Amino acid sequence: MHEMGIILHLAKTLDETCEEQNLKGIGKVVLQVGEVSGIMTDYFEDCWNYFRTRHPRLETAELVIETIPAFTYCDHCGKTYPTVRFGRECPYCHSGETWLIRGNECIIKEIEVYD
Amino acid sequence: MKIIELKETITASNDRDAEVLRSELKEQKTLLVNLMASPGAGKTTLLERTIQDLGSKYRIAVMEADVDSDVDAKRIEMMGAKAVQAHTGGMCHMDAGMTRRALEELNAPESDLVVLENVGNLICPAEFDTGAGKNVMLLSVPEGDDKPLKYPLMFTTSDALLITKIDVLPYFDFDAEKCIERAKKLNPRIKVFLVSSKTGEGMEAWESWLSDAIDSWKQ
């Protein structure tokens, strides 16, 4: 359900862009998705392929997902580590005073269009 | 074929819609409160009690966002407040566009307070700005005091946290102090209220915060 909701927002932005720039169609959409954004990329692709058959302007739009690795910063020792491998606790000093610095994004990087 | 760089987060268009809606609501002097919680945390019961206590002072309306059914809207109407059922069509959250449509159905300018009872879910409602002036979340005692650790974004985006069903505290291993400490660590400005909609305990503090929020929104 979550993925489908995100696709509706994505489609809205793409529709707006097409209208603003008078574009005929989209050939490719490149998304940058953080490792811990909560989006399941396999499922997202399935949802996209279902959705685009029902949305003529996006019918030819192939989806490309680039993954952004997640990193966490430790406030206590000042080190940065990969989030997916170690989680919330710092692997160097075992502090829980840590913050996600990247890996939570979902960005529309670029689109390939027909004009 | 040509390439257009967008470099825009997926929620950006919703964020813009929400900003516009918020300023319109400010102009109309209608405070929109986005109420978020898990299913069964007691959102509707809290609203029933709040409408009963503040209904004579303020014009209150409620938007019930559910995937399906109108059970909650009927309960609210029984309390004498205006209610509209906004079906999200299977979606797990309300966004600014859906909120706008539901507000139009309610004729929002006639209300001092509109409460959006969001879909029962602690994840995506926090990611999508609805255009609300205040975000309020509920966490009920049976859900456990570890929820700030599991769903940090919800606690970060909320202006107030209501720990509900405190009448059952003696029967659960819920450490209220620890829960508040965890929530404040994520969001130092979050206001915390311990309430029981059933016994009425703690309702006064919550209602006085809400009244202040309604009054200051009008200025």
In chain A, what are the domains? 2-69+103-114 (3.30.2320.80)
CB–CB contact B92 A10 (8 Å): no
* Residue contact B123–A1, C-beta within 8 A: no
Minimal Cα distance from A27: which residue of B? Answer: B1
**A5:B14 CB<8 A:** no
Please report residues of B whose CB lies closer than 8 A to that of A17: 4, 6
> Residue B126: CB partners within 8 Å, gap ≥ 6?
B36, B151, B153, B154, B156, B157, B158
Identify the CA nearest to B195 among candidates B173, B215, B210.
B210
Q: Confirm or reject contact between A99 and chain B (CB < 8 A).
A: no
CATH classification for the domain delimited by B13-138+198-217, as one of 3.40.50.2300, 3.30.930.10, 3.40.50.720, 3.40.50.300: 3.40.50.300
Q: Give A-chain residues touching B93 at CB under 8 angstroms.
A: 5
Tell me which chain B residues have a C-beta less than 8 angstroms from the C-beta of A12: 13
Compute the nearest-CA separation of A15 from chain B (Å): 11
| ipTM score of complex | 0.82
Contact list, A88 vs chain B (CB under 8 Å) = 149
First to last CA, chain B: 52
Which residues are within 8 A (CB) of B128 and not within 5 positions of it... i.e. 6 or more apart?
A5, B11, B14, B93, B94, B95, B96
Q: Could B6 and A9 be called an inter-chain contact, meaning their C-beta atoms sit closer than 8 Å?
A: no
Question: To the nearest whole angstrom, how far is the Cα of B30 from the nearest Cα of chain A?
Answer: 26
Q: Name the residue among B1, B10, B124 with its Cβ closest to that of A112.
A: B1
Give the per-residue pLDDT at A1.
Answer: 54
As given in the structure block, the two tokens for residue B149 are: 């650790």
In angstroms, what is the C-alpha Rg of chain A?
A: 18
pTM of the full structure = 0.88
| pLDDT for B204 | 98
Question: Which sequence spans correspond to the domains of chain B?
Answer: 13-138+198-217
Chain A residues inside the 8 Å CB shell of B152: none
B45-84: pLDDT as tens digits: 999 999 999 999 999 999 988 777 778 888 898 888 889 8
Q: Please give chain B's pLDDT, 219 residues, in tens.
A: 899 999 999 888 899 999 999 999 999 999 999 999 999 999 999 999 999 999 999 999 999 887 777 788 888 988 888 898 887 777 788 899 999 999 998 887 789 999 999 998 888 888 899 999 999 999 999 999 999 988 888 999 999 999 999 999 999 999 999 999 999 988 999 999 999 999 999 999 999 999 999 999 999
d(CA B135, CA B56): 23
